[in-house]
Structure 1
Amino acid sequence: MLNRLGRYWLRRTLRLPMPWTATLGAARSLLFLSAGLTYLLSPTTVLFTPVDGALPGRCAASVHWMAWPCWLPEGVVAGGQATAGVLCLIAASGWFPALTAVPMAVLLIALPLTSAAPDGGDQLAGILGLLLLPVSLTDWRRTSWTAVQPERALGARVLVAYSALALAKLQIAIVYLVACLGKLSSAEWVNGTALFYWVRNNVFGAPPLLRPVAEWVTMRPVLVAASSWGTLVLEFSLAIAVLLPTPFRLRILLPIALLFHLAIWLVLGVSSFAFVMGAALLILVVPVGWSLVRPRMYRIRSGREKETPV
C-alpha cells in the first residue's frame, strides 16, 4: 500500500513543470551580479567601515558567525572583498548552481549585515539568497541555461523547490505591498506630488543629464500625478501578481515593472537595487516552471538525451 501511494505521489509530482528554468537562472544571476559589482566597485573603507569609524563594530556578536568579513583579520578584509566579488561574478555565469548555492547564500546574506550603509536591495538580496538556497541545492543541472534535469530524487527535489519558490514569491509580494501601503501615510503620495520632490532631492535626485527632462515632467500636474499614483497602482498590482491572469502578468505587468525599476536606476542612481528588483520581478511574476524563452520546455534527462540550451 505504501509503495502504491509513493508511486502515485511521484507520478503526480512529476506532472508539474520543472521549476529550474532559464528564467530562474537569470534571476539568480542578477542577484549575484548585483552583489559582485557592489563588492568589486565599493572601496573597503566605504563598504565596511561603520559610521563611528571602528571596523570591529560591524562584527557584533549577533551577526559574527553569519558574516564572512568577521572571520578575517582586519588587514585582509580588502582581499576577501575582491575574492567575494569575483566569486559572485563566476556564479552569475550559471555554472553548477547546486555547488555554488551555499557560498552565494553566505555572500548575499553577509553584505547587508556588514555593510556600513546597506540599502533595501541589499537586504532583499540577502533574504532571497536564503530563501532560494533549497531551490539551488536541488538544481542538479550543469548550468542554469539547459533544459533537463537528472532523474535522481526528482520528485522530492521538485516539491522542495516549489515550496521554497512559493515562500520567495510571498516575501517579494509583501515587499511591494508594504511599499505601497507605506506611501499612503505620506500626504505627497496621496495628493500625487511625491515625484516632484524626489527628482529634486539633493541626494537621490535626478542626475544633471536627466534633471531638465525630469523637472519638466514633474512640473506638469497631470504627468506628476499620473507618475506618483501610477507607482502606487503598480506596486499594489505586483503585490497581488500571483492572483492575476498569466498573460497579463507576462505581457503587461512584467515589462512595465522592469521599465519602472530601470527608470528608478536612471533617475535616482541606485544601480544595485535595480538588479535585485529585476531578479525579484522574475521570481514573482513568472509562473514556476515557465521560461520566458521557451515556456514549459524543461524535462528529465535520460541516458541517451543530450542537454538542450534554452
Structure 2
Amino acid sequence: MQVMPAVQSLADRLAVRTGRHDLRSRWFGTGRTVMALAQLSVLLFAPVKALLVPVVGMGEYPKCDGVRAASALCLGGDTVGMEPRRWLLIVILAVVASGYRPRWTAIPHAWAAYSVAVSIAVPDGGESVGMIMALLMIPVGLADDRTWHWRRPEREARPSWRTLSFVAFLAMRVQIAYLYLDSAIAKFGVADWANGTAEYYFLRDSMFGVARPWDSFFLWLSKNSLIVVALTWGALVIEIAIGVCLLASERWRKAGMVMDVVLHGSIILTMGLWSFALVMIGSAIVCASPDRRRPVTGDPGAGGDEGALPESGVHCAECGAAVRVVTAV
C-alpha cells in the first residue's frame, strides 16, 4: 500500500522542520515590535473622543455587550474613566514594543490588540489584522523564555513548545497570505481596478487622497494614463506576489517582506494610514522569520544557542552526509 510510506515521509519531513524550528530571533522580535508600535500609535496620537465617536445607526462606543465586555476599554464599568483604560493599554503595548519578557507579555498583548479592535468606532482594518496576529503569536510568545526578544536564546526550546510555535507560524503565514491574495483577487471584480484607473481616484479622494508635500508631484504623475495603469495594476501584482511568497521558502518569504515594505511604504508616503501599514509590515517581517540553524537532535534542556557556541562538522556514517553539531564548551 502506497499511502503509509507517503504519510511516513510527510511525518518525517515535518519532524525535521519542527526539530529545527525556533522563532526566538530578532526577526520575530522586530515584527512584534513594529506591530505593537502601530497599535500604540492609535492610542497615543488619537484622542479618545475620536476613537469612540458615536456612529449613526450604531450608537455609543465602546460596545460592552457579549464577548466585547472583555475589552480593556470596558474595564470597571461606569466607575472607571476612559483615560485610565487608555493608559493601561498604552503601558501594555509600550512594554511589548520594548521586547521585554515575550512569555509574560504575549497574552496581555493579545488582550490589548483585542480591546482596540473591538472597541473603537472607526477601525481601518489594521486593528483586526493586529488582533489576529497577536492571538496567533501567543504560542510563539509562550515558547520564548528570553528576557528581551532582541537577545539570542540561551538554551533550546522543548520539543512541545517548538511544535506549537511551528503550527502558529504556519497559521500566521497562511492568514497573511490569504489577506493579500483575497484582497487582490477581489479587486479584479471592481471596475476601476479592472480597467486600471483606481489609483487616479484614490489620489484625489477627499479623505484618503495624497497629502502634502507630495500632492503636487503625484497628482501631476497621475495625469499620465500609462502611469496610472501601472500604479493600479502594479499594486495588484505586488499583492499577489506577496501572498505567494509568504507561503514559500525562506528566501521567497524575505522577498515577499521586501515587497510588502515597498507597497505599504508607498501607501504611507501618499495616503498616510500609518497604523495599518505598520501592522502589515510587522506581520510580513514575522512571516519572513527564518528558521534558526540549530541541531535537530540532542537534549532539549541541555543544549545552547547555536549562534553562541562553536560548531564542528561530523560525518554521518549511516546517512553519508555531513551534519553539524554543537560542541559543548
Q: Structure 1 residues 263, 133: CA separation in 2 closer, same or farther (over 3 Å shift)?
A: same
- 1:142 paired to 2:144: no
1:24 aligns with 2:37: no
1:97–1:140 contact (8 Å) kept in structure 2: yes
Contact 1:112 1:126 in 2 (8 A): yes
Distance 1:62 1:99, change over 3 A: closer
CA distance in 2, matches of 1:240, 1:254: 11
Distance in 2 between residues matched to 1:122 and 1:224, nearest whole Å: 29
Are the equivalent residues in 1 in contact too, given 2:181–2:240 (CA < 8 A)? yes
Which residue does 1:107 correspond to in 2? Answer: 112
Q: Secondary structure at the match of 1:240?
A: helix
Contact 1:162/1:288 (8 A) holds in 2: no
Q: Is 1:69 aligned to residue 49 of structure 2?
A: no
Equivalent residue number for residue 319 of structure 2: none
Judging changes above 3 Å, is the alpha-carbon distance between structure 1 residues 187 and 148 closer, same or farther for their aligned structure 2 residues? same
Distance change (3 Å), C-alpha of 1:222 and 1:63? same
Counterparts of 1:188 and 1:298, CA distance in 2: 52
Which deviates further from its counterpart, 47-56 or 191-200?
47-56
Please give the secondary structure, in 1, of the residue aligned with 2:186.
helix
Q: Does 1:120 align with 2:122?
A: no
Which residues of 2 match residues 136-215 of structure 1 at below 5 A? Answer: 136-151=141-156, 154-215=158-219
Match of 2:262 among 259, 262, 267: 259
- Counterpart of 2:35, as a letter, is L
Q: Work out whether residues 62 and 121 of structure 2, in 8 Å CA contact, stay in contact via their aligned partners in 1.
A: no
C-alpha change, 1:301 and 1:209, in structure 2 (3 Å) is farther
Deviation at 1:235, TM superposition (A): 0.7
1:306 shift after superposition: 11
Query: 1:206 & 1:200 partners in 2: Cα distance?
Result: 7
Deviations 1:29-75 (A, max 9, x none): 1111111121122211111233159546621224213x111122345
Q: Which runs of 5+ in 2 are unaligned?
A: 1-11, 309-329
Distance 2:291 2:127 in 1: 26
Question: What SS does the aligned partner of 1:18 have?
Answer: coil
Equivalent position amino acid for 2:115 in 1: A
Q: Which runs of 4+ in 1 moved over 3 A?
A: 11-15, 52-57, 149-152, 242-249, 296-308
Structure of larger gyration radius: 2
Per the TM alignment, residue 187 of structure 1 is displaced from its structure 2 partner at its CA by: 1.3
* Residue 55 of structure 2 is aligned to residue 39 of structure 1: no
Q: Name the % identity.
A: 25
Q: 1:271 to 1:297 in 2, by over 3 A?
A: farther
TM-score, normalization: structure 1?
A: 0.85
The separation in 1 between residues aligned to 2:62 and 2:21, in whole angstroms, is 47
Q: 2:129·2:279 contact (CA, 8 Å) conserved in 1? A: yes
Contact 1:148 1:298 survives alignment (8 Å)? no
TM-score, length-normalised on structure 2? Answer: 0.80
State the 1:94 CA deviation.
Answer: 0.7
In structure 2, give the amino acid aligned to 1:24.
Answer: F
User: In the alignment, is the contact (CA less than 8 A) between 2:139 and 2:164 conserved in 1?
Assistant: yes
* Aligned partner of residue 256 in structure 1, secondary structure: helix
Quote the Cα distance in structure 2 between the aligned partners of 1:298 and 1:214.
51
Matching residue of 2:277: 274
**Conserved 8 A contact 2:156-2:304:** no
